[in-house]
Structure 1
Amino acid sequence: MGTRFAFSMLGPLEVRAGGMVVPVSGQRQRTVLAMLLLAPGRVVSVDSLVNAVWEGAPPATGRTQIAICVAGLRKAFRAAGCTDDVIITSSPGYKLLADDHEIDAVRFEQECAAAEQAARQGLVERAADGMREALALWRGQVLAGVSGRVVESEAARLEELRLSAYERHTSLRLELGQHRELIGELTALVHDYPLREQARACLMLAQYRSGRRAEALETFRAGRRQFIEEFGMEPGPALQGLHRAILNDDADLALTEGTPRQPEPAARAVPAQLPTAGARFTGRTAEMSTLDELLEGDGPAVAFITGAAGIGKTELALRWGRRVAERFPDGQLFVDLRGYDGDADPARPEDALAGFLRAYGVADTQIPADPGERSALYRSLLDGKRTLVVLDNAASFAQVRPLLPGSGDNVVLVTGRDQIGELLGEHCALRLRLTPLSRAESVELLGAASAREGDQDSAGRLADLCGGLPLALSVSAARLVAKPHWSLAHLVRLVEDEDRRLDELSPGGRGVRSSLDASYRRLSPATATLYARLGLLDVPDFAAWVGAAVLDSGLAEAESLMEELVDAQLLEVSSAADCATRYRFHPLFRCHAKEKAMLWQGSEESLAACRRAFDTWVALATTALDRQPREIRGGLDTREHVGDPAAWFETERASVVAAIEQALRMGLVLPALDLATAAWQLLATEKPMPLTPVPTIASAEDGAVRSRAREKRWITKLMGELAS
């Protein structure tokens, strides 16, 4: 191994080897090292490092510069005598191997946990000594000199832990009768942090036990005044209870020789909070097996179950949780964080923590008011336990982070639609992205409703119309059960009508439309506009230039917005090769997007958006024929985009056919004719055939009313060959 490093974060960032300081040069290197130290033994993605160094505005060479920083750190460590790797490359980023080295922040949390364990065993003096040694590791402001939002956020968390540890140390010293020695330092602490109720309570108790009852009451009144003036609320019940006890000279406040420690909260039944799973569930065999792997690891394990609206994320989490419940003897916790609930605000993590603490028998009066203290108490309760924690419907890492256990053999399942990169990078979460069910699984999910008439053709058709989306399939099955006089074929006829499809799958204002609306509301205005306009196109898939055409924007802007739709799980990537990404809608999502276009886009705007897309297809198809560039919006180089004409046409062929058909339905005969002509000629280059004469086109001014039967018949004749 060679040299053992001591990494110091509880103050200015410092690395020592054998008492000598190891130089870490440059602000970027220090930020990269800080990020790796904040996640010891876990992979930190390159994207997270880039974001930390440049605060969301990186240069084009950002990823390369991160690699240079890591190389510089490795060189410095080797120069200090370390023969083994300290930082390794691990997709999608880097990992700091901390097991053979010392990190003061890690040691601090370990010593605090050991002190708490001693306190639970009644070893008050040992616990106080342990807390004192932990606090002695601090040398100043966390990571002083290293800036950045992510670093500062973690520094704030560690500072909160320090204050909580100091308050706990003070409580232990009060139990040991050191009240007189504490008054001075507690007075300074309350002055610096006047809203920390635990610190104020310790000062009041120290003053009271020192015979300074009036000062203790004034300490309460001063705090109460500040709470009312700044927040319009009274202090918490614990502080008010101590105030009443001091007024009444409660005998329990006196410290007597051999006074027993306050008993732990009364034990309650092991929490079993998992809701009842739905009646319909099928498939997901591979996903269930993957989740089983969480049971074999050491330490806390996290899985992030993600996917589009209605894909069955919660159902999978509950099914697996109930199947393995006996593997978690210390209980199963569940909370709906309401990240995508249109009827209520997202749940606050501090409220979820309060519920979890109550589940483990903590009385309301013992639940800390401070969110950081709640989180610390929660982690302490779960330390050494084996508990399943299901955090459902999460919208952000800020909702999830306070609810993650710090140690123990606990397993956490997080479900959500948005990408929560911090879970994957900082916490090495297992990522499960759910996709639609197969046709056979969909028919199985329809269950008895699909089999009651033995009409497997209708069942298969309904499964196709629902696109394998479990929510849509469950709604369909429920409707058939509720209306026994309906035939399966009748429901299929209703759902086949695209204009009323979402109505049939969203009874009572709930169902598919409500679920998709929750994702749609979170989009930026530009992204929402693109989503709606893309829904106007009835094509199987499309490239990013289609987004630029319907939005009438540049290609780079359209690509960025389309990726936002992918991240929001409203658009899928159908294929990606050599940066030529193609996208597609789930069929129900396209219905939803088109519905939004009809609601918020005028008919002229919608027609113009489609016309721009059709015209761009014509320009690209014509370029594929003669290799001459065409002028189109967005600065797109048609020759560069087409590349190999044969390959381009093969990729676009199904979408070209669909675009021709849609242009005809919309009365846009001229672009339909131009595109059909170019496509027919491209097809002829692949397999020589006699070309049907193209009908003579009248003047361009006549194009807006091109609906002559001769031209339509010619296009229709070509369509069969193009589609074959």
Structure 2
Amino acid sequence: MLVHTLESVGLTVSGASLPLGGPKHRALLHYLALRANTVVSVDELLAALWDGPPPRTARKMVQNVVSELRTGIAAQEWYAPEGARPRRLSQVVLLTHGPGYVLRVDPDEVDALAFDRLGHDGMALLEAGAEAEAPHTLRAALALWPHATPAHGPAARWPERRRLERLREQLVRHLAAGAGTVLLLSTESRRGLADAGTAFGHEMRLAEEIRAQIDHQQGTVCTEFGSLRVAVFPEDPTTARPGLERARAAADAVRATLSAERRTTVTALLMPDRVIHGGRRRVPAAVVDEGLAALAATAPGTTRVHTSAAPAETAA
């Protein structure tokens, strides 16, 4: 049996929907499913199911709704797979426990709980730098909730539901991947500097000039490590100029400025048509590793366009 709560509330067995009743039945199942395997008191249910003070008969109404839901769950026996002996399945059980009720269910049988687990697993993989695995896990989570369906009725104010909606927004942002050009810039000063303080100030000025040129071309600096800068120029539909053109213009401007005024050698590597994470303009680690290897093979002081599928183009 599957318990659905994300886009619509329901129970299915072998693809067939089980009878549930009216809005209160669905709301109660929804709330218990979000807190599956946890005892939920009647008082908590009253607060969750009614926006204002519940009616005097609310407790009796909850008892009746639970009883009718149990009847629906018991209907599992009528939906056994074709050819199998009809039997009552036991994936979902609604129990009375002390002062309240508990929905006993395998968490993976509740779409909201499976979504929550996969979403957090994917985010953890992303933070750990597992760029190949993370998108797959995030997409598996969003496959359970493909449309941004808002909750209706009392569920719209439940903290448990709002937390899931925020998680979905986060996943969508991180999967908003798009094509763009990645730019790696390596700088090397050709003149000695008197002391460490002067050298530090010099590097800070270099960094400011590089950031200014990249920003002017609508790029974003993602990484600055010593003499290396990594930036991205996304293919922006609001901009007529392609990302590669803007990245080359930034690299040329940096080379012209620093080579003339600072006697600094600037080596630039352009990597067009790379997938970047749109929400954070994040360059995948695998792309950076590929770029570093190609940058090491690039003649100092040049700008080179690197692609994996075609010979590289080199410009002095």
State how 1:290-329 maps to structure 2 within 5 Å: none
- Structure 1 residues 33 and 179, CA gap change in structure 2 (3 angstroms): farther
Give the one of 259, 263, 266 matched to 2:288. Answer: 259
- Check conservation: 1:112, 1:165, Cα contact below 8 A: yes
Structure 2 counterpart of 1:13, which letter? V
Give the one of 61, 70, 84 matched to 2:57. Answer: 61
The answer to whether residue 109 in structure 2 is matched with residue 102 in structure 1 is yes
The answer to whether residue 173 in structure 2 is matched with residue 167 in structure 1 is yes
Structure 2 counterpart of 1:28, which letter? K
In the TM superposition, what is the alpha-carbon distance from 1:66 to its structure 2 partner? 0.4
Structure 2 counterpart of 1:115, which letter? G
Residue in 1 that maps onto 2:45: 49
State how 1:403-414 maps to structure 2 within 5 Å: none
Residue in 1 that maps onto 2:75: 79
**Partner Cα separation in structure 2 for residue 249 and residue 103 of structure 1:** 54
- Structure 1 residues 101 and 24, CA gap change in structure 2 (3 angstroms): farther
- Check conservation: 1:87, 1:96, Cα contact below 8 A: yes
Cα-to-partner distance string for 1:345-376 (whole Å, 9 max, x where unaligned): xxxxxxxxxxxxxxxxxxxxxxxxxxxxxxxx
In the TM superposition, what is the alpha-carbon distance from 1:63 to its structure 2 partner? 0.8
- Structure 1 residues 58 and 42, CA gap change in structure 2 (3 angstroms): same
Give the one of 114, 120, 124 matched to 2:131. Answer: 124
Match of 2:101, SS state, is strand
Residue in 2 that maps onto 1:134: 141
Residue in 2 that maps onto 1:31: 27
In the TM superposition, what is the alpha-carbon distance from 1:154 to its structure 2 partner? 3.6
In the TM superposition, what is the alpha-carbon distance from 1:73 to its structure 2 partner? 0.7
**Partner Cα separation in structure 2 for residue 161 and residue 22 of structure 1:** 29
In structure 1, runs of 5+ residues without a counterpart are 181-202, 217-244, 262-724
Structure 2 counterpart of 1:26, which letter? G
- Check conservation: 1:9, 1:142, Cα contact below 8 A: no
- TM-score w.r.t. the length of structure 1 is 0.25
In the TM superposition, what is the alpha-carbon distance from 1:59 to its structure 2 partner? 1.8
- Check conservation: 1:55, 1:149, Cα contact below 8 A: no
Residue in 2 that maps onto 1:648: none
Match of 1:94, SS state, is strand
- Check conservation: 1:111, 1:130, Cα contact below 8 A: yes
Match of 1:69, SS state, is helix
- Structure 1 residues 207 and 60, CA gap change in structure 2 (3 angstroms): same
**Partner Cα separation in structure 2 for residue 75 and residue 143 of structure 1:** 28
Cα-to-partner distance string for 1:270-307 (whole Å, 9 max, x where unaligned): xxxxxxxxxxxxxxxxxxxxxxxxxxxxxxxxxxxxxx
In the TM superposition, what is the alpha-carbon distance from 1:126 to its structure 2 partner? 1.9
Structure 1 counterpart of 2:111, which letter? D
Number of equivalent positions: 200
State how 1:178-257 maps to structure 2 within 5 Å: 178-179=179-180, 208-210=233-235
- Check conservation: 2:2, 2:11, Cα contact below 8 A: yes
- TM-score w.r.t. the length of structure 2 is 0.53
Match of 1:208, SS state, is strand
In the TM superposition, what is the alpha-carbon distance from 1:17 to its structure 2 partner? 0.8
- Check conservation: 1:207, 1:213, Cα contact below 8 A: no
Give the one of 7, 12, 24 matched to 1:16. Answer: 12
- Structure 1 residues 125 and 152, CA gap change in structure 2 (3 angstroms): same
In the TM superposition, what is the alpha-carbon distance from 1:179 to its structure 2 partner? 4.0
Rg larger in structure: 1
**Partner Cα separation in structure 2 for residue 211 and residue 29 of structure 1:** 47
**Partner Cα separation in structure 2 for residue 118 and residue 109 of structure 1:** 14
Match of 1:35, SS state, is helix
Cα-to-partner distance string for 1:244-279 (whole Å, 9 max, x where unaligned): x99x87979967874149xxxxxxxxxxxxxxxxxx
Cα-to-partner distance string for 1:633-672 (whole Å, 9 max, x where unaligned): xxxxxxxxxxxxxxxxxxxxxxxxxxxxxxxxxxxxxxxx
- Check conservation: 1:209, 1:254, Cα contact below 8 A: no
**Partner Cα separation in structure 1 for residue 174 and residue 108 of structure 2:** 28
Structure 2 counterpart of 1:125, which letter? A
In structure 2, runs of 5+ residues without a counterpart are 78-87, 182-217, 221-230, 242-249, 256-267, 275-285, 291-316
**Partner Cα separation in structure 1 for residue 20 and residue 64 of structure 2:** 13
- Structure 1 residues 149 and 252, CA gap change in structure 2 (3 angstroms): farther
**Partner Cα separation in structure 1 for residue 165 and residue 125 of structure 2:** 23
- Structure 1 residues 63 and 80, CA gap change in structure 2 (3 angstroms): same
- Check conservation: 2:48, 2:158, Cα contact below 8 A: no
**Partner Cα separation in structure 1 for residue 64 and residue 121 of structure 2:** 39
Residue in 2 that maps onto 1:70: 66
Match of 1:259, SS state, is helix
**Partner Cα separation in structure 2 for residue 108 and residue 99 of structure 1:** 13
Residue in 1 that maps onto 2:300: none
